[in-house]
Amino acid sequence: MGSTIEAVKAFDQVIEPDVVRVALIDTLLDEKFECINVAQMFGEKLYAVRFDTTASRRGNFYRILEECRWELDLRGHGKMKFFVSGGIKEKDVPVLNPLVSGYGIGTAISNAPVVDYAMDIMEVEGRPFSKVGKWGGSKRVVKCAGCGERQIVPNRPVIKQAVCRCGAVIEDILVPVMEEGRALIAAEDASEIRRRTLRNTDGLPL
């Protein structure tokens, strides 16, 4: 749809009226302007706005929420509540409580240490399209055969043989393993996959 207003309208049209309306507001635009947009469009019909701000853009999350609260109150939307999600930890809750009515918490209460990752839309039918805080477009990962430095590059049909600052050749390390349900590589022994994975993750900032 490409617009938060259109998405909330569509949700409102098809979901039962007894389900409260909560608008996710920082997918495409800045938190402040988007929460003003939805508040002005839906008014009291909207129960809350949800912030799912990526950590990379968040800075001081409390200050962002405070600013949005101010802007909404100023325009007569003092009843509109705030929900937050996206990498929220237990220790954040008491800090944010004065402004926040509800939390979406996942990874921080998982029962084992995890390597956290997210899946996001990056491209729609060949056109780059991603939420605020994410780099648009499909990508490839290349790695220098000499010094091991990795880079993320746009997924172009032909990647020219590039040379690293250290003089070694940069290799494309993304290997397609499946296409339209068909395996493109031979099955490997699980212990060999484990050995290779440990080798490849060595030196990554995990």
CB 138 within 8 A of CB 122: yes
| Mask for 80-99, x = binds Zn ion (CB under 5 A) | --------------------
CB of 176 to Zn ion, least distance (A): 24
For residue 151, what are the CA distances in angstroms to 136, 139, 155? 15, 10, 12
Q: Closer to Zn ion at the Cβ: 121 or 166?
A: 166
For residue 90, the SS3 value is coil
Asked if 173 interacts with Zn ion (CB under 5 A), we say: no
CB of 59 to Zn ion, least distance (A): 33
Region from 50-58, 75-83, 162-170, 180-188 binding Zn ion, contact rule CB under 5 A: 162-170
In angstroms, the CA 21 to CA 81 distance is 11
Of the candidate residues 118, 163, 166, 169, the single one contacting Zn ion (CB under 5 A): 166
CB 75 within 8 A of CB 36: yes
In angstroms, the CA 170 to CA 57 distance is 30
Region from 53-61, 84-92, 153-161, 167-175 binding Zn ion, contact rule CB under 5 A: 167-175
CB of 204 to Zn ion, least distance (A): 16
Site for Zn ion in 125-144 (CB under 5 A): 144
Write out the residues near Zn ion by the rule CB under 5 A: 144, 146-147, 164, 166, 168
